[in-house]
Structure 1
Amino acid sequence: MHAATFEKLLQHLKTARQRAVFLLAPTTAAAQQAFLQELPQRLPHHLWLSDSPAIATQAAMDRYRDYLGATHSQVVLEFHRHVHADALAALSGTVAGGGCLWLLLPPSQTPFTERLLNAASDFALVNVATTLEELAQQLRRLTQLALPEAAQPSLPSDAQATIIEAMASNMTATHVLLADRGRGKSTTLGRAIVTTFRATELPIWVTGPHPRSVQTLLHEAQGKALFRAWDKLLSEPENFGQRLVIDEAAALPLHVLRELVQRYDVWALATTVDGYEGCGKGFAVRFFTELQQQTKVIRHELREPLRWCAADSAEAWLNQLLLLKPQPLPKFALTSSQLSWRHCSAAELDEDGLSQVMALLLEAHYQSSPNDLRLLLDDPAQQLIIGQQHADIVAVCWAAIEGPLEPALATHVCQGERRLKGQLLPQALGFYRQQFACTQWRWLRIVRIATLPALQRQGLASTLLDTVATQALAQGIDALGTSFGATPELNTFWRKNSFLELRRGQKRNASSGAVNTLWARPLQPHTQPLIATLAQLQQAEQQWYEHQTLATPTPCLTQQAKALLKGFRAGHLPFSNVRFAWVYLYAVKQLPLTNIQADIAQPERVLAEVAQAHRFSSRGAFENWLRDQAQALC
């Protein structure tokens, strides 16, 4: 990698205001090490993220959101395990025209990395190199490309100026600014703040996922804006009602946005809706519909890129690779006689079919992200059940095979000593319900289901689930299961489709703001009794939490409650997970109700407060005392 050649390329790119992408795909450990040694020496002022950071100058890949909202000349993404597609989609947009995006790929190829490498052939400035020698050849080739000179844009652009004027002339509405990356959203917000609040003495508050993600906005606001962390804002009721601006809104959990809008006077909100977790059309559909019901909303869009020129190919490559710009979903009437079903993996679909599947998932789910595409392509446990009318995909179920776990591993899971990826159902029931038997079943977990919006509320999703159940039974699956953020509407849907609730969490999900719940539908005769019993346990527990009434004791319910208490006594489960079982067994055995037992029996009482009220030195000391007392209940 000759320094003079690289400098010549950077000047070439800068003049054209275009970006180059380098896909470094070493086939040997030696080639990988050569790239790792060469790049830090040659790249000026780079941002380097790694999924295995080895030195202080490398950031952790899962912290990629911290770097949104800034601009970089060189971004390096170092992947050792798999490509983090969310980080790729988000951080590629922070590379300015004249800069480079470097991807150091894992040595082993997968369907997704093959897709990534194959997509490069359509774009002259997207390059593949397996060795330093090949990289040097690519650099020399790029310096010879005829790239037209592109003038620097004048700021604010005409589109930005129009939006700034509209925002300044309407201070009572909530202004929503939507655009892809590199369009100048943060700059527009910052300049709008200066224009609108020039005479205001105190700066307006700005929040976002991280202080670094609003750097551009704060710079452009010229001291008229002050960053406040969103969690601080929500914990300061004395400040509720203050004017607020939210940048990178889709990177915040949906329930956080809802609370901020309810508690503050949100004057402006900017976001990118393509490219990273918590975004996509699902974000826009859910949040903006709610926002319009609460306040007057004025929507603005920026279309022309400012961070790079319109001829830049890096964005087109990324959109093609990750299917970030799906075609509009079709609208037509459903003819059931023409509906056919297909069971396949994502890798078996052609480009049109894969694009349709991702479009449906992006439309239906606010948590859909580019990482979904990578997982669907690379993980053989992921399956698709697709409903088609002719060539149009009208419904899709994304499902994953889980279990059975190897018995020794399952024991560690039940004891809380191991946490496994990709085994949500057997792990949750094995640990939280202390059911070793559930770890030995073969599950099919419904990850997501989606139907065309034009065909919703016509029974298509229920037909899809019945089709999934029929095909799963033929595969020898023991039970279907799913987990989601509980809402009355979703609970009703799954109950109507013969699923039973087996567990409900105690804390809100960080993304949805709802409490996670787990449901199952038995397929084989041997799974029916235990699933029915666990559903009875969950119903009794929920009844106690909501109404403080205890269910009529049954032998099965008592047996399950004792299993939970034994897990607590052994130190596997915290008391918060067995509190209902404790109260239930205390009532079954008709033990005398002491003051401390009376406090425990009130579900609204916080356990930490109970421990403090009864003079325990710590929460741990309280739980140790409870474990000693549990012997009488087991």
Structure 2
Amino acid sequence: MIATLARRAKRAAEAVNERRVLVLAGDRDTGIDAAYTAVEAALGATEDDVSVVSTREGFRFEEHRPRRADGLLGRTREAVVLDCHEQFVPNALGRCVGAVDGGGLLILVAPALDAWPATRDRFDESLAVPPYALDDVAGRFRERLVDTLRTHSGIAIVSLGDGPEGRNALSRDALSADSVGGGETVSETQPPTAPPDATFPTAAYEACLTADQARAVRAFEPLSTPGNAVVVEADRGRGKSSAAGLAAGALALSGADVLVTAPAAQNAAAVFARARELVSRDGTDDTESSATAAAEATRNLDVPGGGRVRYLPPAEASEMPGRPDVVIVDEAAALPVRLLDRLLDAPSIAFCTTVHGYEGSGRGFAIRFRERLLASRLAVRDVRLDEPIRYARDDPIEAWASHALLLDARPAVEEAVAGAAVADATYRPLDPTELVADETLLGEAFGLLVAAHYRTEPNDLARLLDAPNLLARALVADGRVVAVALLAREGGLDAATRSEMYEGERVRGNMVPDLLTSQLRDEAAAEPRGIRTVRIATHAALRDEGFGSRLLSEIHAEFGSTGGAFEGTDAGVESTDAEFGSTDAAGDGVDYFSVGYGATPRLLRFWRRAGYRTVHLSTVRNDTSGEHSAVMLRPAGEAGAALLDRHADAFRDRERDGLSDAHREVDADVIRGALRACAAPVPIDLTDAEWRSVVGASFGPGTYDTAPGAFRDLALAALIEGDGADDAALDDREERLLVQKVLQGRKAASVADDLGFVSTAACMRALGDAYVPLVERYGTELALAERERFTTE
């Protein structure tokens, strides 16, 4: 039966250029044997076009581990087998779906579907963060997934018999073209032609399969001139990588050195395949997978006339070795913003990114990177591809995957929330069971997270529904979700676990306690109970209207003893960078609230106004946000206040010296915001000699170099305490001057250039002037008397 079913599924898929799913549910060994039977029956001996994703090894097909299924990104396969036993990773499912070509099969080897939601595997173990156990993990994600398998078109389910003699039963058959809707066979279409004034070869346009793809190739033409950028956006399977490959080949034929980068070399296979076809002038295969094997064998395509197409990993590519003429970034949404930012040094550049998908939602451009790109020296052109190439427009498996994994989740439409008033919004929990039962509620809440965060993945949907340490809270206006927050319970760990953490053992799901304990060496830090805001998002139509502040205020009131309203608006609040887990019970109060995120001046200001204080600033940039991560606490009880006080003091003391070391290159406005939010008192205890040096540099002929430590202490106090009640306020440039020259110890010439001073001397005079109000605020009697020597006529 398996062989017959597989052949029929393949024929049905090929007839309409769609994909089909076979679910082989039951015993694992029996399922793997059945998968072999299905592949052999449907594809014959074409084993090079088959991939298996499993924790097991020894398959004769290409293998990937579930946690490493990103090796399928940018690939096309005739069949992909996903072993859902032992470690079912939602991200892997998304990547497997995306790799299956039109006319191909996705084969799921799964537990018996009725039992699957209650089955616990290695992925579930990752959700059982201390102090929770594996039994606390729910199975809602898989329950919902099973429902979609039983209701969507294009899917057949086989219930496998036990053992080799067991009888298999076809429990669902929705494979045929008629059952999907239409049964139309693939039709031949007229290939696009080159525009009359095209600069790329005619063959580049004739190789396109849709008008969308031809428009994308056309958009690459300006890259032959420095100073241009193109952003190509598309859902999976629209041919953006093929368009990039044709453009790369055309540019290389004109003599250009084209540098291609992607998360991994195999992700760029389609780019090299199409570039090679164009250059060789024998491209007769109309699929993205053509020439893939040859493209993988080498990542350097030399072209007669001096041009070339070459691949480098992203970190190496960002250094621009060999001074390329053009850089093409494929699967850009999967790369850290920090690397994307460095790639802007290219003479011309293209970013190809997925709009909705498991590589990343593409929202890094909309959230953090788009503004940097538009502010750069590059002239930016955008193009979007909507017409599917590798499979038909109405492919049922695309619809199934989008629904099952919420790849197309979106917030409520703007018209539905426009005019909502913050005072009229209702604060409510988002119970995971209710989310599963209400697809609209789930889609709007998860859609806000997708819209507000660089990379929200299917794994995150599973955490939201199943992980026991997560809470979700929302503001709802007129039945629509307008703001949402994901909250992780942390801390409350027993003495043995705290000791293990202090000695270097990593404890999952406790980001802030782990940081404070293992890195900042506070063994007691994991005893108080905390609520960490993992992500918070406000509908784009309602930004800066106070919804984010209201949501936080309600959270503080619900969980803490010091909750209530506070100053501030949502100020473009985005999500934080950490991953999250899940639960639906509020329970009793907590000792503190916390947050960790990629620090920007605006976000630092928002969280400070929300009552949070800085306790840490990472020494390296976060790979996801491209920023240095800030960790902030807000007390909710005595234990939390004690925890905050000692770590705010420690942060103040670390930064006094650390700003001239690990934080020397951090943006001055980020340092200003982090220090202002620290709010730890700064003791000023200068010697008489140090005060004379400071006063001499401020009012007289003295110099900064005679007592740098004294200048550092006063700068730290001024930046942490901010504006005083007197006339001691510093303007923005003066504060940046204190950060860069005094605390970070940068060269005066560099500081002068960065802050716009006409000369180094002018910069240093301004530094002395900046200390005048600090002498007035902090000076001792001796200091003020010393000042009189220079101010009395």
* TM-score, normalised via structure 2 length: 0.65
Q: Is the 2:482–2:538 Cα contact (8 Å) retained in structure 1?
A: yes
2:268 to 197, 214, 226: 214
1:193 correspondence with 2:306: no
* Counterpart for residue 19 of structure 1: 19
Contact 2:259–2:317 under 8 Å retained in 1: no
Which entry has the higher C-alpha Rg, 1 or 2?
2
Distance 1:94 1:152 in 2: 23
Paired AA for residue 537 in structure 1 = A
Deviation of the 1:103 alpha carbon? 2.9
Measured after TM superposition, the shift of residue 345 of structure 1 is: 2.6
Counterpart among 595, 598, 607 of residue 485 in structure 1: 598
State whether residues 2 and 34 of structure 2, in contact with CA within 8 Å, keep that contact through their aligned partners in structure 1.
Answer: no
User: In structure 1, what is the Cα distance between the partners aligned to 2:745 and 2:464?
Assistant: 42
Cα displacement (A) at 1:104? 3.3
Q: Is the contact between residue 207 and residue 228 of structure 1 (CA under 8 Å) also seen in structure 2?
A: yes
Deviation of 1:383 after TM superposition, in Å, equals 0.9
Aligned to 1:159: 212
Aligned mate of 2:374, from 286, 292, 296: 292
Asked whether the 8 Å contact 2:486–2:533 carries over to 1, the reply is: yes
Instruction: Tell whether the 8 Å contact from 2:621 to 2:627 is kept in structure 1 after alignment.
Output: yes
| Cα distance change, pair 117–337 in 1 and its aligned pair in 2 (3 A) | same
Write the distance in 2 (CA, Å) between the matches of 1:134 and 1:296.
64
Contact 1:329/1:452 (8 A) holds in 2: no
Residues 1:32 and 2:65 aligned together: no
Counterpart for residue 341 of structure 1: 427
**Cα distance in 2 between the residues matched to 1:138 and 1:536:** 64
User: Structure 1 residues 407 and 128, CA, compared in 2 at 3 Å: closer, same or farther?
Assistant: farther
In the other structure, the counterpart of 1:247 is 330
Matches within 5 A, 1:210-609: 210-222=264-276, 223=301, 224-235=308-319, 239-240=322-323, 242-261=325-344, 263-294=345-376, 295-327=378-410, 329-330=413-414, 331-349=417-435, 350-416=438-504, 418-473=505-560, 475-546=588-659
1:439-459, Cα deviation, whole Å (9 max, x unpaired) = 122221110001112222223
Point out the more displaced range, 496-505 or 132-141.
132-141
Q: CA deviation at 1:102?
A: 2.4
Summarize the Cα distance change of 1:452–1:282 in structure 2 as closer, same or farther, 3 Å threshold.
farther
Instruction: Tell me the residue number matched to 2:141.
Output: 112
- 1:34 Cα deviation after fit: 1.3
Deviations 1:94-119 (A, max 9, x none): 20111111233464531001111111
Code of the residue aligned with 1:289 in structure 2: it is E
CA distance in 1, matches of 2:484, 2:89: 24
- Match of 1:212, as an amino acid? Q
Given that 2:23 and 2:107 are in contact with CA atoms closer than 8 Å, whether structure 1 keeps it comes out as: yes
Cα RMSD over matched residues? 2.9
AA partner of residue 624 (structure 2): S
Point out the more displaced range, 298-307 or 62-71: 62-71
- Separation in 1, partners of 2:486, 2:529: 17
- Secondary structure of 2:245's match? helix
Q: Counterpart of 1:324 in structure 2: which amino acid?
A: L
The 1-side partners of 2:486 and 2:625 are apart by: 19
Three-state SS of the structure 2 residue aligned to 1:137 is: strand
Q: Secondary structure at the match of 2:184?
A: coil
The equivalent of 1:615 in structure 2 is: none
Shift of residue 24 of structure 1?
4.1
Partner of residue 569, structure 1: none
Change in CA separation of 1:523 and 1:135 when aligned onto 2, cut-off 3 Å:
farther
**CA–CA separation in structure 1 for the residues paired with 2:149 and 2:3:** 24
- Determine if contact 1:68/1:213 at 8 Å carries over to the other structure: yes
Question: Closer, same or farther in 2 for the Cα pair 1:254/1:92, shift >3 Å?
Answer: same
**Matches of 2:174 and 2:455 in 1, distance apart?**
41
Q: Which runs of 5+ in 2 are unaligned?
A: 41-46, 119-138, 192-206, 277-300, 302-307, 562-587, 665-679, 684-712, 714-742, 747-793
How many residues end up aligned between the 2 structures? Answer: 550
How far apart, CA to CA, are the structure 2 residues paired with 1:389 and 1:403?
33
Per-residue deviation, 1:476: 1.9
Counterpart CA distance in 1 for 2:494 and 2:28 is 35
Structure 1: give runs of 5+ residues left out of the alignment. Answer: 555-583, 585-601, 606-634
Task: Output the TM-score relative to the length of structure 1.
Answer: 0.80
Structure 1: distance between partners of 2:239 and 2:169: 34
- Quick one: percent identity of the two aligned structures? 28
Q: Is the 8 Å Cα contact of residues 280 and 363 (structure 1) preserved in structure 2? A: no
